Amino acid sequence: MSGTHSVDNDGGRRRAGRTLSRRQLLRTGMWGSLAVWATGSVAGGVSMFWPRGVTGFGGKVVAGKVSDFKVGQVTKVTEGKCYLVRLEQGFLALYWKCPHLGCTVPWSPPEDPGRFHCPCHGSIFDINGQKLAGPTPRSMDIMAMEIVDGKVIVDTGKITERPNFSPSEITPA
Residues that bind ligand FES (CB under 6 A): 98, 100-103, 118, 120-123, 134-136
**Closest separation in Å from C-beta 91 to ligand FES:** 24
Q: Return the number of the residue (77 or 140) whose C-beta is nearest ligand FES.
A: 140
Q: At closest approach, how far in Å is the CB of 122 from ligand FES?
A: 6
Q: Measured from the CB of residue 118, what is the shortest distance to ligand FES in angstroms?
A: 3
Single-letter residue type at 24: Q
Which residue, 64 or 135, has its beta carbon nearer to ligand FES? 135
What's the closest the beta carbon of residue 120 comes to ligand FES, in angstroms?
A: 4
What does the angle CA 1 – CA 9 – CA 2 come to, to the nearest 5 degrees?
Answer: 15
What is the nearest approach in angstroms of ligand FES to the Cβ of residue 140? 10
Three-state SS at 129: coil
Distances (CA, A) of 22 to 28, 31, 35: 10, 14, 20
**Between 74 and 103, CB nearer to ligand FES:** 103
Q: Whose Cβ is closer to ligand FES: residue 91's or residue 125's?
A: 125
Closer residue to ligand FES, CB minimum distance, 123 or 171: 123
The CA distance from 95 to 162, in Å, is 12
Are the CB atoms for 143 and 151 separated by under 8 Å? no
Burial of 136: CB neighbours in 10 Å, binned 0-12, 13-18, 19+: buried
Q: Contact 105/83 with Cβ under 8 angstroms?
A: no
